[in-house]
């Protein structure tokens, strides 16, 4: 049984909530608040999926436990470890390398629009939130878009009903 979560009672509803939050973030791509909320939801859908569909996931992926599931998610979803570190960074003041592992996210920042066009700014004069990692810069919209696409493919592949 889930905790009391207002009217969100299953992972399909949770995906709907994540999708709605992401739409709000895309409309306001410089909002750190919307980025943080979307990141938290994107990270925790992983847990909802496991708890609601553990038997199906175990069978589909030939895995035994939640640690194997988490490893699968980290391997299958581009930059999911970045999402985890951003999520934890939004709720903890200090980074604990012993608990959280090697730090991948070096910093996050708002890059304001300046009438230039780069791969990180697809439209003129629109600022974006950028995550600076050990591997390079990531646009927050792109990061979260890939996570949502991954989740939606799981729902499709596993034939989970989407309730929005």
Digit-coded pLDDT (tens) for 20-76: 999 999 999 999 999 999 999 999 999 999 999 999 899 989 999 999 999 999 999
Digit-coded pLDDT (tens) for 73-90: 999 997 999 999 999 888
**Lowest-pLDDT choice from 8-17, 44-53, 103-112:** 103-112
Check if the beta carbon of residue 90 is closer than 8 Å to that of residue 42. Answer: no
Residue 164 has a pLDDT of 46
Higher pLDDT, 107 or 92: 107
- The residues spanned by each domain of the chain are 11-95+140-157
Kindly write down the DSSP assignment for every residue of 70-120, as one continuous string: HHHHHHHSTTHHHHHHHHHHHH-SS--HHHH-S--EEEEEEE---S--BTT
Closest CA to 19 of 144, 128, 139, 143: 144
Residue 17 has a pLDDT of 97
Dihedral angle computed from the Cα positions of residues 55, 86, 77 and 50, in that order, rounded to the nearest 10 degrees: 0
d(CA 19, CA 155) in angstroms, rounded, equals: 13
Average pLDDT, integer, range 105-126: 69
Dihedral angle computed from the Cα positions of residues 103, 133, 150 and 5, in that order, rounded to the nearest 10 degrees: 50
Tokens at 145, concatenated? 């878009």
Closest CA to 146 of 24, 38, 48, 27: 38
Tokens at 42, concatenated? 């994107």
Digit-coded pLDDT (tens) for 120-163: 555 555 789 999 998 999 999 999 999 999 999 988 887 776 54
Phi, psi of 98, deg, nearest 5: -65, -40
pTM above 0.75, yes or no: yes
Check if the beta carbon of residue 68 is closer than 8 Å to that of residue 62. Answer: no
């Amino acid at each position: 049984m889930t905790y009391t979560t207002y009217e969100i009672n299953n992972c399909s509803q949770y995906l709907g909530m994540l999708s709605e939050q992401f739409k709000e973030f895309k409309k306001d791509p410089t909002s750190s608040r919307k980025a943080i909320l979307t990141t938290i939801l994107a990270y925790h859908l992983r847990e909802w999926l496991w708890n609601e569909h553990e038997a199906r996931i175990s069978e589909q992926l030939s895995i035994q436990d939640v640690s194997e599931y988490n490893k699968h998610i980290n391997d299958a979803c581009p930059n999911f470890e970045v999402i985890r570190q951003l999520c934890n960074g939004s709720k903890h003041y200090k980074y604990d390398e012993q608990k959280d592992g090697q730090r991948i996210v070096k910093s996050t920042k708002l890059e304001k629009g300046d009438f230039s066009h780069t791969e990180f700014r697809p439209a003129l004069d629109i600022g974006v939130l950028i995550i600076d990692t050990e591997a390079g810069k990531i646009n927050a919209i792109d990061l979260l878009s890939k996570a949502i696409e991954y989740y939606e493919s799981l729902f499709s592949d596993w034939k989970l009903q989407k309730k929005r």
